[in-house]
Amino acid sequence: MGGDSIIRQIFTKPKFNADRDIPSLEGKVALITGASGGIGKACALELAKKGCHVFLFGRSAEKTLPVIEEIKTISKNDKVEFLEADLMDLNQVEQAADKFLERGLPLHILINNAGIMHQPYKLTKDNMESQIATNHFAHVVLTNKLLGVIEASAPSRIVNITSILHENPYKHGINYDTWCDEKSYNAEDQYGTSKLLNVHFTKKLQEKLDAKAQAEGKEGKVYVNCVHPGVVKSNLLRNPANYSFFFDLSFKIIGISTEHGAITQLYVATNPSIEAQNIKGKYFTPYHQIEETSAMARDEKLINKSWEWTEAQLIDKFKPDWKWAI
């Protein structure tokens, strides 16, 4: 399972070439979180080169605005914009989503790319543990807010960035009751848990969208998939806690470039085969291979529990009237 994808990324070359294989995206609109650097920036550039109207969603104007100018220059596309929000503040996430909605634009591609990894224990403004807040809840809130326009823009795609480490949450599984407790906190296990939640969210959201379309007598044309981009040389490990010298060394030895790390999510976000073959609710690994998830990631009872737990936590910690849009 996980080991196969690591071997592939070391010993194989991607067949997908962004310049050659991404179709024209003129008239399309995309939003990418965490696009001021790393694989998010690489994705934004490739989409812009194909004529897409791209929104870079992030917290730092100082970091993102120069990136936008760089992308505009390279792509010769002026339709690249900044949406400012800190993913550790869910009110900011919703407000930024509202600013996008006020533009009256469609949204054909949403790439939930931003993430933090193996961080020291910290609570966000919403009193949520920072890794699960950033990697899971912020993207749930953003996607939920934009879901109506994504459905109206169909065929459209949602790409959730997960990780091979979804296979490694806490030994007992998801810490639903203690996820904000400092005493039980382990940075590596918490990261794995956040990535497992990404897979659960992908699968349940796709199920809900398809059920709604069927009930309305329509063909479901929103494609939700999740991606492990590979072991990438990026700045994901900012201020890491509890990781070993060997873990760091492995990133440096087997890590792929950000350009190669972006390939699988670019494929899932743009390749015509996703729609032609009706590929939904799947887990992709480098390079653009569908792979089986861990047993916990495909456990229907856990998937349903994570969906219900997510809503309950957002009601408790964010907004008493929060609810799923689907």
**pTM of the full structure:** 0.93
Q: Could you report the per-residue pLDDT of 19-65, keeping only the tens digit for each? A: 999 999 999 999 999 999 999 999 999 999 999 999 999 999 999 99
Out of 11-15, 202-206, 229-233, 265-269, pick the least confident.
11-15
Half-sphere exposure of 117 (CA within 13 A, CB side): 22
50 as an active site residue: the answer is no
pLDDT at position 78 over 60: yes
The answer to whether residues 274 and 268 touch, using CB atoms and an 8 Å cutoff, is yes
Report the pLDDT value the prediction gives residue 258, as an integer from 0 to 100: 87
Report the pLDDT value the prediction gives residue 255, as an integer from 0 to 100: 65
What proportion of the chain, given as a percentage, has pLDDT over 90? 86
Report the pLDDT value the prediction gives residue 240, as an integer from 0 to 100: 53
Residue 93: which of 128, 137, 123, 60 has the closest Cα? 137
Domain boundaries, the chain: 2-11+26-317
- Residue 14 pLDDT grade (very low, low, confident, very high; cuts 50, 70, 90): confident
164-201 in b/e form (b: 16+ CB < 10 A) is bbbbbbbeeebbeeebbeeeebbbbbbbbbbbbbbbbb
In this structure, CATH architecture of domain 2-11+26-317? 3-Layer(aba) Sandwich (3.40)
Report the pLDDT value the prediction gives residue 9, as an integer from 0 to 100: 56
- The alpha carbon dihedral of 255, 237, 229, 292 has a sign of positive
- Residue 242 pLDDT grade (very low, low, confident, very high; cuts 50, 70, 90): very low
pLDDT at position 239 over 70: no
Question: What is the mean pLDDT of the segment spanning 238-260?
Answer: 62
189's tokens = 């296990």
Q: Could you report the per-residue pLDDT of 252-307, keeping only the tens digit for each? A: 666 678 899 999 999 999 999 999 999 999 999 999 999 999 999 999 999 999 99
Report the pLDDT value the prediction gives residue 222, as an integer from 0 to 100: 99
283 as an active site residue: the answer is no
Burial class (CB in 10 A: 0-12, 13-18, 19+), 291: middle
Report the pLDDT value the prediction gives residue 44, as an integer from 0 to 100: 99
Of 185, 191, 283, 287, the catalytic one is 191
Strand partners, 285: 289
pLDDT at position 68 over 50: yes
The answer to whether residues 112 and 159 touch, using CB atoms and an 8 Å cutoff, is yes
Q: Could you report the per-residue pLDDT of 92-134, keeping only the tens digit for each? A: 999 999 999 999 999 999 999 999 999 999 999 999 999 999 9
- Residue 161 pLDDT grade (very low, low, confident, very high; cuts 50, 70, 90): very high
Of 28, 49, 145, 195, the catalytic one is 195
Report the pLDDT value the prediction gives residue 93, as an integer from 0 to 100: 99
Tell me how long the chain is.
326
Mean pLDDT score across all residues of the chain: 93
